[in-house]
Amino acid sequence: MTDLFFNKKGVEISLQAKVKAFLFVMLFCAITMSAFAQSTPRVKSSVDSTTIKIGEQVHFKIEVETDTTAQVIFPEGQTFMPLEVVEVLPTDTLINQDKFNLIKKYALTQFDSGHYTLPRQQIMINNKPYFTDSLKIEVNTVAVDTTKQKMYDIKGLAQVDKPMGDWWKWLLLGIVAAAIVGGLLYWFVFRKKPLTEEEKIALLPPYDRALAELKKLDESKYLIQSEYKEYYTELTNIVRSYLEDDVHISAMESTTDELITKMELLRDSGSLKIDDDTIKQFKNVLQTADLVKFAKSTPENTIIDRDRKTIEHIVVKTKEALPEPTEEELMEQEEYVEAFKQKKKKQQIKYAIASGAVVLVLVLGVFIYKYGFSSVKDSVFGHPTKSLLESEWVGSSYGFPAIYIETPKVLKRETGTPKGEALGTNSHQVFSSGSMHNGFFVQVSVSTYKKEADFDAKKAIDAAIAQVEKAGAKNMVVKQEGLTIPTGKEGNKVFGTLEIENPETRKNREAAYIILSFVQNGGFEQVIMVYDKADLYANEIVNKITNSIDFKTES
């Protein structure tokens, strides 16, 4: 009995140990789970009202409870579409023991009535995303008591002045450039500016020009600076040039002996009545000049003065020895003066053209640096797609159920379009602008279901691709992805490249295309755009059109 008792006692002790161990494990798990629960952030969201009137504000609140060391990033920007952010309030921070309670509030609004879904918002906590719940917001119209509100007749259409656009900037630039060029032409060509001393001398008859040049040589600094070679070179060139112009002998390229020989022959023939002593004096001056120029001889001042007077004496004696100028020679002199004036005028025109070209190059350089070469080239010479982008766009609703879209030109309704019974659609309306074969093409189509269950959006998208192929497209590259436009509506985007023949040039055109498809308000809406693949401005037009798409939401 004792062994059994002890055996029983031993069993009892063993059960107690197991119970204690189990309780210890449970306590440890509870502590661990509590600690884990405390370290896991909690995110809550709420709105102060789910029903507002048009233009009123709803306050959306996000509460985050997390550790004091956690990094929290709240939503920023227009992530609340289709509602608009009016104001983002500063973050409130409350400390609860070892926790932070962060509260972020946003003031949101909507200016169109309807039922809207406030999308889930992402909060980043320690680089890990957490999401709020989506919320339904109802925007009601403002009730108007028509019994008290006075009614008026509908007014007729009114003419609206078309905005000026940017053309005035280019006009102003053209006026400024024309004024600069005109000013340069006046200054260099048409303005009667006084002649310089050299120009006045050049217009004088040969004899008077030679004396004026000798006087100018006396005022030079050649002798002061001991530049004897330059002095004698100019001194002899004056008399040689005079002999060529008035005596009509080639003196500039002749040597001293050749020139003296020519003068002696003229004297002997009676064409030049000049004495031997004058020719001898002239020969001595030329020989002295040769020594100074080629032998680097330095003449005395008395010899320099003598040679200077001798040259003037030779010019005077030669003038006296010449017969009176004939009428033909006088005419030649007038022709020379007129030719000189024409030469000067041509020089002025060249200067004006060069200056104008420099101004234009500088202006173009500034614009190219600021706007880029392609933009300036297209602005100066024109570009069809750039003109579309910069024109006054038209915003309008097309079809039923209506799709609102802004385009460079009003879309025209296409007649004779198929209804699309095979796709489960009842009505099919098509509006387009441009041509798929050249330029920028945009087409909007709106269809309604026969029965929503019978409609297949995928087949409708395939039909749109088949439509592009039927127009002559080849080698189509097809890509597809989801799409959310700025108004918050979701759709499908099919895009890629293709080749299509231009019927006018018979050349293949490398083009890009985009097909946007939406199922909204009980209808199927589709936008097709085709444009040149290398067009720099087409992408801007595509983005602008895409961002303008909207649908009237039923209230």
* Sequence-ordered list of residues with C-beta below 8 angstroms from that of 12, at least 6 positions apart, any chain: none
Residue 240, pLDDT > 70, answer yes
Residue 407 has a pLDDT of 92
Domain boundary among 323, 347, 368: 323
Residue 147, pLDDT > 70, answer no
Residue 334 has a pLDDT of 65
- Let me know if residue 172 belongs to a domain: no
- Let me know if residue 213 belongs to a domain: no
450 and 372 within one domain? no
How would residue 233 be classed by pLDDT, with cut points 50, 70 and 90? very high
Do 430 and 445 meet the contact criterion of CB atoms below 8 Å apart?
Answer: yes
More confident residue, 280 or 141: 280
Q: Which of 31-45, 162-176, 220-234, 361-375 is most confident?
A: 220-234
How would residue 12 be classed by pLDDT, with cut points 50, 70 and 90? very low
- Let me know if residue 110 belongs to a domain: yes
More confident residue, 319 or 29: 319
342 and 455 within one domain? no
Cα distances (angstroms) measured from residue 481 to each of 514, 544, 548:
11, 19, 19
Residue 1 has a pLDDT of 41
- Let me know if residue 150 belongs to a domain: no
531 and 450 within one domain? yes
More confident residue, 209 or 424: 209
SS3 state at 313: helix
473 and 443 within one domain? yes
CATH number at residue 475: 3.40.1000.10
Question: How many other CB atoms are found less than 10 A from the CB of residue 247?
Answer: 19
477 and 397 within one domain? yes
- Let me know if residue 165 belongs to a domain: no
269 and 364 within one domain? no
Using one digit for the tens of pLDDT, what is the confidence trace for 473-491?
888 888 888 888 888 888 8
511 and 444 within one domain? yes
- Let me know if residue 171 belongs to a domain: no
How would residue 554 be classed by pLDDT, with cut points 50, 70 and 90? very low
How would residue 230 be classed by pLDDT, with cut points 50, 70 and 90? very high
Domain boundary among 116, 140, 164: 140
How would residue 325 be classed by pLDDT, with cut points 50, 70 and 90? low
Residue 231 has a pLDDT of 92
Total domain count for the chain? 5
> pLDDT averaged over the chain?
78
- Of 156-170, 240-254, 384-398, the range with the lowest mean pLDDT is 156-170
Can you tell me the mean pLDDT for 521-527? 83
453 and 316 within one domain? no
Residue 5, pLDDT > 50, answer no
546 and 462 within one domain? yes
Do 479 and 496 meet the contact criterion of CB atoms below 8 Å apart?
Answer: yes
Q: How far apart are CA 272 and CA 323, in angstroms?
A: 8
Residue 388, pLDDT > 60, answer yes
- Let me know if residue 3 belongs to a domain: yes
512 and 397 within one domain? yes
More confident residue, 108 or 143: 108
What residues make up the domain containing 542? Answer: 390-551
Q: Which class for 272: exposed (0-12), middle (13-18), buried (19 or more C-beta within 10 A)?
A: buried
Residue 37, pLDDT > 60, answer no
419 and 287 within one domain? no
Helix runs in 144-275, H state only: 167-185, 197-202, 206-218, 228-242, 256-269
% pLDDT > 70, the chain: 75
509 and 431 within one domain? yes
Backbone angles phi, psi at 94, to 5 degrees: -120, 140
- Let me know if residue 94 belongs to a domain: yes
